Amino acid sequence: MKILAVAGSNSETSINKLLVSYAASLIENAEVEIVDMNDFEMPIYKHQREVESGVPQEAKNFAEKIDAADLLLISLSEHNGTYSTAFKNVFDWTSRIKDRAVWNEKPMLLMATAPGARGGLGVLEAATKRFPLHGGNIVETFTLPFFNDNFDKEAGKISNEEKDSELKEKIQKISAVESILEK
Ligand SMILES: Cc1cc2nc3c(=O)[nH]c(=O)nc-3n(C[C@H](O)[C@H](O)[C@H](O)COP(=O)(O)O)c2cc1C
C-alpha cells in the first residue's frame, strides 16, 4: 500500500508534519512518502500567470503523487481560521489541472492540529466541506487540540492516551477501507 502523507504547512518545524508522520507510522507494511508545502513552492496563483505559462510543474508533481497513492493522510495547519496560504496556493493551482479532480477519490484521513483548544477545527471544517467537491473521499477526520500538551515531540507520538486511541481506531478504519478497495 502506498501512502502519501501531506502536511498542509510550509513551516520547517510544522506540528502538522509531526502529526501526519506519526499517523503514517501507525500503518504497517506501507510505503510512505511524507511531503509538505515546501516541496511544491511556486508563484501565487494568478489568472494571467496561468494564461501565459499554464499550471506550474510543482502542482503537476503534487497531482502525480496523489494519483500514485492508495491512501492520503493530510494534516492542515490553521491560519486565521482556515488554510495556510502555502497550502491554499498548492490547492488552487492543482485544481486548475484539466480533466482530474484534486484528490482523485483516494480514501483520505483528514486531520488538523494547533496549539490551541480547537486544534485546527476551523480549517478542518472548511476542508471537510470543500474537498468532496474536488474528488475528496474523506473516510475519517481527526483533530489534536493543545498540541504541545498532547504530543511528545521527542518520541514523535501522541502522549494523550485518549486521543492516541482515537487516532489508532481511525487509522484501522481507513486501512480496512483501503484493503477492501485492493480486492
Ligand atoms: C498567521 C497565523 C494565523 C494563525 N491562526 C490560527 C488560528 O486561526 N487558529 C489556531 O488554532 N491557530 C492559529 N495559528 C497558530 C498555528 O496553529 C500554529 O502556528 C501552528 O504551529 C501551525 O501549524 P504548523 O506548525 O503545522 O504550520 C496561527 C498562526 C499564524 C502564523
Q: What is the distance between the alpha carbons of residues 170 and 139, in angstroms, rounded to a whole number?
A: 9
116: cell is 490551541
Q: How far is the CA of 102 from the centre of ligand 1 (A)?
A: 24
From the alpha carbon of 7, which atom of ligand 1 is closest?
26
Atom 30 of ligand 1: nearest residue by CA position: 79
Q: Is the CB of 15 under 6 A from ligand 1?
A: yes
Please give the pLDDT value at position 183: 52
Please give the pLDDT value at position 177: 82
Question: Of 11, 20, 79, 85, which is best to mutate to test ligand 1, by the most ligand atoms within 8 angstroms of its C-beta?
Answer: 79
- Would you give per-residue pLDDT tens digits along the chain (183 residues)? 999 999 999 999 999 999 999 999 999 999 999 999 999 999 999 999 999 999 999 999 999 999 999 999 999 999 999 999 999 999 999 999 999 999 999 999 999 999 999 999 999 999 999 999 999 999 999 999 999 999 999 999 999 999 999 999 999 999 888 765 665
Q: Is the CB of 94 under 6 A from ligand 1?
A: no
Please give the pLDDT value at position 176: 85
Are the CB atoms for 143 and 112 separated by under 8 Å?
yes
**Which residue stretches of 135-160 are H helix?**
147-150
Q: Is the CB of 143 under 6 A from ligand 1?
A: no
Local structure of 37: helix, strand or coil = helix
* Domains contained in the chain, number: 1
Please give the pLDDT value at position 80: 98
- Buried b / exposed e over 137-146, threshold 16 CB at 10 Å, is bbbbbbbbbb
Range of the domain at 14: 2-182
From the alpha carbon of 8, which atom of ligand 1 is closest?
26
From the alpha carbon of 118, which atom of ligand 1 is closest?
11
CATH of the domain at 177: 3.40.50.360
Question: Of 77, 83, 149, 151, which is best to mutate to test ligand 1, by the most ligand atoms within 8 angstroms of its C-beta?
Answer: 77
